[in-house]
Structure 1
Amino acid sequence: MLNITKDKTKVLLQFNFFKTYTLKLVLIITVTLFVCACSGNNNSTEVPEEIEDDQILDEQTTPEEADESSYTLPEIDLNNWKVTLPVSENGRPIEVEPPEILNYANNEVLKPFMYNDSINGALVFYTYPGATTPNSSYSRTELREQMNPGSNSTNWTFKEGGRMKGTLSLDSISKDGDGDYHRTMVMQIHGRLTNEQRDLIGENDNNAPPMLKIYWQDGYIRVVTKALKDTSVSDTELLYTSAWEDGASHIFPDKVNFEKFSLEIKASEGKIEVVLNETESKIFESVHIDKWGVFENYFKAGNYLQSTDEDSYASVKYYKLDVVH
């Protein structure tokens, strides 16, 4: 007489040891008899559905395999980006370039400031007041475009054009003494002097002003462009940072708060367009942008905290980031 165990789970687990179709049918008959024996109270004679092979394989999936299948990585290619951190070495902020940046998940210097949120598929940029670049009083965990990986020397002009699109969210940010959120810059178009321009005006570096700055500010997205203080200056005089000031700005009316949103920057000769969530667009066209054509440029993206308060901080998540020229 066939001895049927009362532990249905044990019987089901025995399926893993049968591989041929004949043995599988025998096992199904056994389960059917078991169900009938255990269902005397309701006189049920329902036959269980046949268990498919892929269901058996699912039962054999290890916890490690299940965890790996739940990981989601950001859609960001870091081959053409370097990152600047709020910590210093030899008196200057640490920068990590390609190819080292590609291994950010295992880089002990990068881990506190640039890491994966694998649940939401984001690359997190965390920063606080710390090391600053020579031309700023604020610190950052921010990517800088490198068209030629590992080099800052190859850049683009507005005549050549460029487009950057990202999907991001403000994860967390501190508040000031009045209870208002601090602000952080999440995207830029930054200017750069060529070596010839640098030497012409006697500068000791290639820094030029940022033509476009995009802030997360009180839950809104604020865009600021640069303008010449005097539009009649010569092409040489406008190379000086002091020739420029903040100009036209725009705050998109739809509040993003801490939700995911998309931002796209389109730069072309004499024109900048910024698009929020693929629905709201702001176009900047002016003599100032025409004049800006003398500069080289590069894109920046990340978390550039606009606070020096001791306990301030910000965390920005990027889910996607793409650049086209």
Structure 2
Amino acid sequence: MMKNYNKSYLSSLLLGSLALSAIGFTAQASAVTIENSGFENNWDGWADTDPSAISSDSYTGNRAAKITGSSGAFEQTVAVTANTQYELQAYIKGSGTIGAIVAGTSHSASGGGSSYEAVTVSFNSGSATQITLFGQYGSGEGRFDDFSLTETSEPVDPGDGGTTPPAGGQCSTSAELTIVSASDNGTNDGHGPANTIDGDLSNESRWSSNGSGKQITFDLGAEATVDAAQIVWFKGNTRVSYFDIDTSVDGSSWDSAVVSGQSSGTSSSYETVDGFNAQARYVRITGYGNSSNTWNSIIEAKLLGCDQGDIDGGTNPPVEPPTQPPVTGIDLSDWYLGVPVDNNGDGKSDSISENDLVAGYEHPQWFYYAADGGLVFKAPIDAPKTSTNTSYTRSELREMLRRGDESISTQGINKNNWVFSTYSSGDKSAAGGIDGELVSTLKVDYVTTTGSSSQVGRVIIGQIHAKNDEPARLYYRKLPGNSLGSIYLAHEPNGGSDQRYDMIGSSSSSASNPSDGIALGEVFSYSIKVVGHQLTVTIMRDGKADVVQTVDMSNSGYHDGSDQYMYFKAGVYNQNNTGDADDYVQATFYSIVNTHDGYNY
């Protein structure tokens, strides 16, 4: 069934409130089951990324996990109770990082030594009922053993507010606190402190100050119980940052919260530093450079805590914790995912099935739920690809109308794919749908900034794919010297060359800054629609006129009865293979809706 979407509907998808589910109470705290927690059955229950191996040098038993390189990691998804405090523990020898991905936020800790040492991470599950546990490379080779996950508090009913700390100042339920302002002593390089609280995760929106002892201070506007910070470090996946954190009620007298802290060096997402339990209005981070140089650079920061009501005239209530994802936003039942890892060792990127996605699959780097409920897709330049014939990497959904019924082939004119209404009656009866529309709401967070001028800054965010070619590829492109990005459409006739249509700005590699362009972090929507021979692509933005491009496909070679089946794709398909290996593209999707005549979902 195809539907028509208007701006008010799209706005409701984007701006609608995220409702929290009612959470009941359980009896007493208990351990969470982790399959094969000591690796005695090799990698059973875990998904590992090379370079990884099973070692006989173990803490207990006969086996342990071994990670030997910067891309090495392993993970497992487990069920948890919402709004509950947990402690994750593992034993590490050498160097390594363990953690948990909770609603898109990474909570992690690093450790290890010449012999096995216990490393622990504390976190609250918030609204999540499934989380991903992981271990990954630290600053050198590491071995991991005996994972455990234990409840340390009973669930808290959100109806009680969850904002009153128990004796001693510890929050029973943490929420994001509103930061009123950020400041430093003025010695930044032009990347000012306000960039760390603007919600923009692009590299250009950061605070940077060179030298040991440089400080950035966050003001909550009112006194609160602060128990954690979440920080996105600049180049956080390639270097370790060193820091202290102090808190203050008045901005004059300071108490130590974290001494000799360091980031993981392996994550470009939020990293959690917790355990403060401090009554404070001000939180100060002092940087001591990083493992590569003396720069201190933070892209984004959040503070978590409770009891931030009207104190001494302050009016700064906690932000409700996010839920994942909005129920009307993204139904993964009819998609599978291509993700840029090769866990099965077949030389190609892995495909995650519809059933695994519905069961809650996430990858801590390339596919995960963000704190705002959006679904993040990220693809680096240097990573496994879908086949030896593919030039670029992707983190991208592929439409699967079979909805998990693996007795239906992925290819061909069958119930997994759709056809145009100009096809024969036999083809239309055999297909899963007729004609189609893909409507997505998203923001592009980051594009590549290195590589050849013909490829830098470009990413495909939506497609129609046929048997071999693509009737529609929708590009976003922002050049390094421009503050705004362009949108353009490529139509590829069957066996032919691309026909390119500039929609917003120019696709040129030397384009000037588009006057009506779309900035990184700016939310917009697109529609890719086919009815018979006509392809229509529409870009929709609040407060602006729609931008529409139509293409007559009558002579494009897709209507000649040669098994030309169709499927939509959405996510990020990196269109740069010439830049730095760790350069990447990233987008956050808030809604992906696919509809077809004859497809009643």
**Distance verdict in 2 for CA 1:271–1:69, change over 3 Å:** same
Higher relative contact order (CA 8 A, sep 6+): 1
Alpha-carbon distance in 1 for matches of 2:492, 2:161? 58
Post-superposition shift, 1:131? 1.1
CA deviation vs aligned residue, 1:74-110 (integer Å, no higher than 9, x gap):
32110111001112231121010121112345x5xx2
Opposite residue 191 of structure 1, the aligned amino acid is: A
**Distance verdict in 2 for CA 1:60–1:217, change over 3 Å:** closer
In the alignment, is the contact (CA less than 8 A) between 1:104 and 1:111 conserved in 2? Answer: no
Give the equivalent residue in structure 2 for 1:227: 493
Q: Which of 106, 113, 116 lines up with 2:366 in the alignment? A: 113
**Distance verdict in 2 for CA 1:66–1:268, change over 3 Å:** same
Q: Name the SS for the 1:87 alignment partner.
A: coil
Q: Name the SS for the 1:227 alignment partner.
A: coil
**Is 2:535 aligned against 1:272?**
yes
Alpha-carbon distance in 2 for matches of 1:177, 1:57? 53
Alpha-carbon distance in 2 for matches of 1:226, 1:158? 16
Post-superposition shift, 1:286? 3.8
Give the equivalent residue in structure 2 for 1:216: 476
In the alignment, is the contact (CA less than 8 A) between 2:163 and 2:173 conserved in 1? Answer: no
Q: Compute the RMSD of aligned alpha carbons.
A: 2.5
In the alignment, is the contact (CA less than 8 A) between 1:227 and 1:248 conserved in 2? Answer: no
Alpha-carbon distance in 1 for matches of 2:403, 2:553? 33
1:21-60 alignment, distance < 5 Å:
58=161
Give the equivalent residue in structure 2 for 1:131: 384
**Distance verdict in 2 for CA 1:222–1:90, change over 3 Å:** same
Give the equivalent residue in structure 1 for 2:582: 311
Give the equivalent residue in structure 1 for 2:549: 282
Give the equivalent residue in structure 2 for 1:245: 497
Post-superposition shift, 1:70? 2.0
**Distance verdict in 2 for CA 1:247–1:65, change over 3 Å:** same
Point out the more displaced range, 138-147 or 272-281: 272-281
Give the equivalent residue in structure 2 for 1:195: none
Opposite residue 270 of structure 1, the aligned amino acid is: H
Post-superposition shift, 1:57? 5.0
Q: Which of 165, 168, 171 lines up with 2:439 in the alignment? A: 165
Q: Which of 396, 400, 403 lines up with 1:149 in the alignment? A: 403
**Is 2:463 aligned against 1:188?**
yes
**Distance verdict in 2 for CA 1:91–1:277, change over 3 Å:** same
Q: Name the SS for the 1:292 alignment partner.
A: coil
Give the equivalent residue in structure 1 for 2:351: 95
In the alignment, is the contact (CA less than 8 A) between 2:392 and 2:573 conserved in 1? Answer: yes
Q: Which has the higher helix share?
A: 1
Alpha-carbon distance in 2 for matches of 1:244, 1:64? 62
TM-score (norm 2): 0.37
CA deviation vs aligned residue, 1:202-243 (integer Å, no higher than 9, x gap):
xxxxxx111110111121111100135xxxxxxxxxxxxxx3
Give the equivalent residue in structure 2 for 1:321: 592
Q: Name structure 1 gaps, 5 residues minimum.
A: 1-55, 193-207, 229-242
Larger radius of gyration: 1
Opposite residue 70 of structure 1, the aligned amino acid is: P
**Distance verdict in 2 for CA 1:173–1:60, change over 3 Å:** closer
Alpha-carbon distance in 2 for matches of 1:283, 1:251? 11
**Distance verdict in 2 for CA 1:312–1:276, change over 3 Å:** same
Post-superposition shift, 1:174? 2.4
Equivalences, count: 236
Q: Which has the higher strand share?
A: 2
